[in-house]
Structure 1
Amino acid sequence: MNRITPLILAVALFMEQMDSTVISTALPAIATDLGVGPITLKLALTSYMVALAIFIPVSGWMADRYGAKKIFRAAILVFIAGSILCATSQSLIAFVGARFLQGMGGAMMTPVGRLVLLRTTKRSELVSAMALLTIPALVGPLTGPPIGGFITTYFSWQWIFLINVPIGFAGVWLSTVYLPEVPPTSTSAIDLKGFVYMALATSGVVFGLSVVSLPALPLQVGFGAVAIGIISGILYVQHAKRHPAPLLNLGLFRNRAFRASITGGTIFRISTGAVPFLMPLMLQLGFGMTPFQSGLITFIGAIGAITTKFMARRVFAAAGFRSVLIVAALGGATMTAANSFFSPGTPHYVIMGFLLVAGFCRSFFFTGVNSLGYADIEDEQASQATSMSSVMQQVSLALGVAVAAAILEANIALHGRELSLVDFHLAFAVVAALSLLAVIPFIGLARDAGSAVSGHRRPADVGEDIPVK
């Protein structure tokens, strides 16, 4: 396996992860500077994820039509432009718009990067490649909170976006010199009608849920957006059944491993999307920490995540996707629930210990679902599989932010007071209970599901290789 390819592709994931964790830590400071509340500013998080959900579906088609390497480099440049505009924003509208532009760039970077990896890596080496791909990306969460908190506390939040500029240009140069060429393939005309349906479906649901949780906007706007999203989703399903080359091929869900990976991963990511939003706010608003202090606490989770990458292939080969994913999902849900018991009097090393184990569990889970989803996918379906997977990932992360904020806002409205620690505790308990449902799709899988990728073999199969004397 060419190890430099996933490392270069990880530059895109690094920028996304760095940007996501930095803005979560700096939300209160940015909100104060822009003259809005920290909950209202979650529109900036949501707009980024909505942009990803809208434009990811066309990323596979564009990579096939124009070449993955060319699209990958162009996406990084768009992301850099969005970062600069974020740093120069003077209002909520400008900031949200700049985040949307960042999302357009991110929509192309990650799925196209995975497509390059799939088409240049043997299936038997996919787990190691996926693990290697995410190691540098996890440096983002590792360095994002403390660096973002330090910059926000002692300098200004604008600089947290300017960090992306040198990283992005380095990614463009490295991909130009070292990234293998993935030549364009013959593609049909883009499914414009399907694109409109998908854009309305994803943006309507995600934005609508966000609006419902915002007291500054009428509830009718939020419910209307959700209704439009659901109706558009139904229309897309009907359209995809008739179209000879739909933008996203729903026939991929007939593959059991892919279906379990998408379903279980989507449910679990709702919790994953909620935690980075809730934790910095709880530590700063509930515990009275500075952004830098909260960043030093939360960055420990990335260390737990990184350690799994050096053992992922051996663990999945020994236990198989099914067992590891079930245990990782249960462990992740338990660690999320533990957050609802933290208080200002809880020793910091105890909090960091739970966050360390949480990062460990989530890393195993996402390495597993990212690899399992492509285990039985044909090469000609790879671009649509990566697009489908990335769409569901971003929608679920956005839903996590929307659900978490909705719980906080509901408590404020119900009790007629400002945010308190008990509100965060309830939110963590709810998302933990929700993440438990991620176990269900994997229970019905065979113990050796995806064995061509994981290398796991049942005892009976191993025994067949032993010669009979």
Structure 2
Amino acid sequence: MTTASSPGVQRYLPWLVGLVLFMEQLDSTIVNTAVPTMARSLGVTPLSLKAIVTSYILALAIGIPVSGWLADRFGTRKVFTAAVAIFTVASIMCGLALNAPMLVVARILQGLGAAMMTPVGRLAIVRTFPRSQLLDKMNFVIIPALIGPLLGPTVGGLIVHWWSWREIFFVNVPVGIAALWMIRHHMPDYRSDAPRPLDVTGLILFCSGAALLSWLLEVFGEHRLDAAASTLLLLLSFALLGAYAWHANRSAAPLLNLRLFKVRTFRVSVGGGLLTRLGIGGLPFLLPLFYQLGLGFPAWQSGLLMAPSAVAAMVVKALAPHLLRRFGYRRMLTVNTVFMGVVIGLFALVDRSTPIAVIVALAFLVGSANSIQFSSMNSLAFADIDDRSSSMANTIASSMQQLSMSFGLACGSLLAGWYLGGLPQTDQVAVIQALHAALLTLGAATIVSSLSFWALKPTDGHALIDKSAAPVGTREPASN
């Protein structure tokens, strides 16, 4: 059994987790630039193909809550190995799919594999490194996760330009094989001495409520249901999630322990992160559509216009720990969230006469803000969590992150469809106006979400930026 003290684990574990997160996040957006091409190939409209994107992200959100229980019972190494293997095989299935329904099914399987990769990898990082190193290690690991969704449209656009859309799924195969080799040599095997029982009731309530809500957001954009049916199903989804909250507060071993939200830093990080991701979650889907359907760029050029965001994430990543140590979590998260919302709104000024240099500059600013935002939120979630609760905290944070990204993508598509009305998606002027309005709405929502970070105290997160702070597990959580 590999342990955290084994030679090479602390050196190579961040690389392993970063590689797997890169593969998972790359796949979540690599199809975005290819959507118009895939739509033509499969004989459907581009906006209707968002099911291929949302089904993957939704499967992540549904599968993540179980991953924590699996890791506690079977160990991080076995679960991580199985997850990467499932993800790799499902990628091959996506590339071989013959129609949209087959592709959606394969994407769901992909998402379930990814659902076990993301939280288990982060859990291994949290349990391997002391609290004083957690910010730097999380910052290192989050960069591949940021580059993945930003680079995905670029890679997807180039592949579609030179080959076919099917090849975009095969890029995961060599990465998956490399990850499996690294897992065998460098993945620690953490497990619980007394694993909790699986909360089947909570699993049914939470997953059904989350799935129904996300599906409703999708079909609202296509107007498949009348207002009465939509309202009833929306109320049902809220009722299921409310029933889960009632159940979780009375269960000795809930699927997601909502009592952790009493910890202020965790509550603000996860809650504020959910609101912020709702605002920016639609960007990886909307921008490629804006570039191709609105501005008339080919897929390869649309993909390249997403690349500056990835470059910015790499450039700015080294600054995040220094900025947090200089200004603190509260000030950085508040100011950066407002800045990010403003930049998103500035995309509404882009039209066919806008110089490419301006678009590149805006993309660079978005990538910079994303890098700081996610490095800050992901590390702050564990600032005051003790070691006994780290697995559950990681599961909740990962679940809320994926749910918010799924809802953000669905909301972005819903806004675009709403503002477009019944006009054809081939009308460039109408598409530009609709996406301008959607981007302004997303930017405003992001700015409003900055208010959630005012609940932080100036000293919150000090344990993460103080090199002399105690390791994870030696402090009790702050609950006020």
TM bin (shorter chain): over 0.9
Residue 68 of structure 1: how far off its partner (Å): 1.0
> Quick one: distance in 2 between partners of 1:86 and 1:217?
29
Q: Among 99, 106, 118, which residue is 1:110 paired with?
A: 118
SS at match of 2:10: coil
Residue 218 of structure 1: how far off its partner (Å): 5.6
Number of the residue aligned with 1:408: 416
**Cα distance 1:111–1:338, how it changes in 2: closer, same or farther (>3 A)?**
same
**Cα distance 1:416–1:137, how it changes in 2: closer, same or farther (>3 A)?**
closer
Conservation of the 8 A alpha-carbon contact between 1:208 and 1:221: no
Query: Normalized against structure 1, the TM-score is what?
Result: 0.94
> Quick one: distance in 2 between partners of 1:164 and 1:225?
37
Tell me whether 1:230 sits opposite 2:238 in the alignment: yes
More deviation, 380-389/129-138: 129-138
Correspondences of 1:27-426 after superposition (within 5 Å): 27-141=35-149, 143-216=151-224, 222-413=230-421, 418=427, 419-426=430-437
Tell me whether 1:454 sits opposite 2:465 in the alignment: yes
Could you give the per-residue CA deviations for residues 405-433 of structure 1, whole angstroms, max 9, x where no partner exists? 11222223366775521000000000111
> Quick one: distance in 1 between partners of 2:189 and 2:297?
48
Residue 2 of structure 1: how far off its partner (Å): 2.3
Number of the residue aligned with 2:478: none
**Cα distance 1:326–1:102, how it changes in 2: closer, same or farther (>3 A)?**
same
Number of the residue aligned with 1:460: none
Residue 147 of structure 1: how far off its partner (Å): 2.3
> Quick one: distance in 1 between partners of 2:46 and 2:230?
19
Could you give the per-residue CA deviations for residues 374-396 of structure 1, whole angstroms, max 9, x where no partner exists? 10011111111111111111111
Residue 70 of structure 1: how far off its partner (Å): 1.1
Conservation of the 8 A alpha-carbon contact between 2:76 and 2:120: yes
Conservation of the 8 A alpha-carbon contact between 2:87 and 2:110: yes
Amino acid at match of 1:56: I
> Quick one: distance in 2 between partners of 1:12 and 1:24?
20
Residue 272 of structure 1: how far off its partner (Å): 2.2
> Quick one: distance in 1 between partners of 2:55 and 2:150?
24
> Quick one: distance in 2 between partners of 1:31 and 1:219?
28
Amino acid at match of 2:456: L
Superposed CA RMSD: 1.8
Residue 224 of structure 1: how far off its partner (Å): 4.4
**Cα distance 1:163–1:217, how it changes in 2: closer, same or farther (>3 A)?**
farther
> Quick one: distance in 2 between partners of 1:29 and 1:445?
45
> Quick one: distance in 2 between partners of 1:456 and 1:354?
35
Amino acid at match of 1:95: L
> Quick one: distance in 1 between partners of 2:228 and 2:49?
20
Could you give the per-residue CA deviations for residues 147-187 of structure 1, whole angstroms, max 9, x where no partner exists? 21111012101000010011011111101111222244311
Could you give the per-residue CA deviations for residues 246-298 of structure 1, whole angstroms, max 9, x where no partner exists? 01000000000101001111111112211011100000000111110011111
Residue 227 of structure 1: how far off its partner (Å): 2.7
Amino acid at match of 2:166: Q
More deviation, 414-423/308-317: 414-423
Number of the residue aligned with 1:431: 442
Residue 219 of structure 1: how far off its partner (Å): 5.8
Count of aligned pairs between the two proteins: 457
- Unaligned ranges ≥5, structure 2: 1-8, 469-480
SS at match of 1:289: coil
Conservation of the 8 A alpha-carbon contact between 2:25 and 2:149: yes
Could you give the per-residue CA deviations for residues 292-312 of structure 1, whole angstroms, max 9, x where no partner exists? 001111111111111222122
Number of the residue aligned with 1:463: none
> Quick one: distance in 2 between partners of 1:451 and 1:57?
29
> Quick one: distance in 2 between partners of 1:300 and 1:86?
28
SS at match of 1:346: coil
Conservation of the 8 A alpha-carbon contact between 1:318 and 1:456: no
Conservation of the 8 A alpha-carbon contact between 1:263 and 1:438: no
Identical pairs, percent: 36
- Unaligned ranges ≥5, structure 1: 458-469
Conservation of the 8 A alpha-carbon contact between 2:28 and 2:56: no
Could you give the per-residue CA deviations for residues 205-251 of structure 1, whole angstroms, max 9, x where no partner exists? 11111111114566666544433221110110111111111010000
> Quick one: distance in 2 between partners of 1:400 and 1:45?
12
> Quick one: distance in 2 between partners of 1:123 and 1:141?
28
Conservation of the 8 A alpha-carbon contact between 2:341 and 2:446: yes
> Quick one: distance in 1 between partners of 2:445 and 2:274?
11
Conservation of the 8 A alpha-carbon contact between 1:448 and 1:456: no
Could you give the per-residue CA deviations for residues 6-46 of structure 1, whole angstroms, max 9, x where no partner exists? 11011221112211231111111111111111100001111
Conservation of the 8 A alpha-carbon contact between 2:67 and 2:395: yes
> Quick one: distance in 1 between partners of 2:399 and 2:233?
18
Amino acid at match of 2:16: I
Conservation of the 8 A alpha-carbon contact between 1:198 and 1:233: yes
> Quick one: distance in 2 between partners of 1:236 and 1:91?
36
> Quick one: distance in 1 between partners of 2:56 and 2:436?
26
**Cα distance 1:456–1:208, how it changes in 2: closer, same or farther (>3 A)?**
farther
> Quick one: distance in 2 between partners of 1:315 and 1:443?
18
> Quick one: distance in 2 between partners of 1:218 and 1:98?
30
Amino acid at match of 1:330: V
Residue 136 of structure 1: how far off its partner (Å): 3.1
SS at match of 1:158: helix
Conservation of the 8 A alpha-carbon contact between 2:419 and 2:438: no
Could you give the per-residue CA deviations for residues 335-379 of structure 1, whole angstroms, max 9, x where no partner exists? 100111101111111111111011111110110010111100111
Conservation of the 8 A alpha-carbon contact between 2:281 and 2:405: yes
**Cα distance 1:416–1:224, how it changes in 2: closer, same or farther (>3 A)?**
farther
SS at match of 1:344: coil
> Quick one: distance in 2 between partners of 1:120 and 1:427?
42
Number of the residue aligned with 1:462: none
